[in-house]
Amino acid sequence: MKYTGILNRDISAMIAETGHFDRIVISDAGFPIPKGVRCIDLSMGPNLPKVPDVLKMLALELPVEQFWFASEISPSADARGKEISAIFPKAECIPLPHADFKVLAYGAVGVIRTGDFHAYGNVMVASGVAY
């Protein structure tokens, strides 16, 4: 049993299996999970947990090179970019239309579904390398 970092065995395995530039989606509660993409469902209730909570835990164990989010997010894409850049300061920030985000999600190694009720709250991260 682990006693630090991410305790969820399925998420730990997903992280361990990623290679350079593999993508993981951290989704809000309403995101349409692409057919054939593995989903780890963490939703416990409305806004439990939230996407930023999961991102902060991922930052402890996964080097992130880039991240994407829907440009339609409110209050603004700039605010969201700054929020996520604070978690992944070395990663490239790429806002894009939600329709394009959904298409990009089809190539993800997995989706971690949260209970987040923030519309367009999804974030996709691309694994970097540890060296």
State the SS3 of 27-80: ECCCCCCCCCCCEEECCCECCECCHHHHHHHHHHHCCEEEEEEECCCCCCHHHH
Residues serving a catalytic function are 20
Per-residue pLDDT of 64-88, as tens digits, reads 999 999 999 999 999 999 999 999 9
**Closest CA relative to residue 109, chosen from 49, 44, 58, 43:** 58
| Mean pLDDT to the nearest integer, 55-60 | 98
Per-residue pLDDT of 84-109, as tens digits, reads 999 999 999 999 999 999 999 999 99
| Mean pLDDT to the nearest integer, 107-115 | 98
> What pTM was estimated for this model as a whole?
0.96
Predicted local distance difference test score (pLDDT) of residue 122: 98
Q: How confident is the model at residue 1 (pLDDT cuts 50, 70, 90)?
A: confident
Task: Give buried/exposed letters for 17-50 (b at 16+ CB in 10 A, else e).
Answer: ebeeebbbbbbbbebebbeeeebbebeeeebebb
Let me know if domain 9-127 sits in CATH 3.40.50.1100. Answer: no
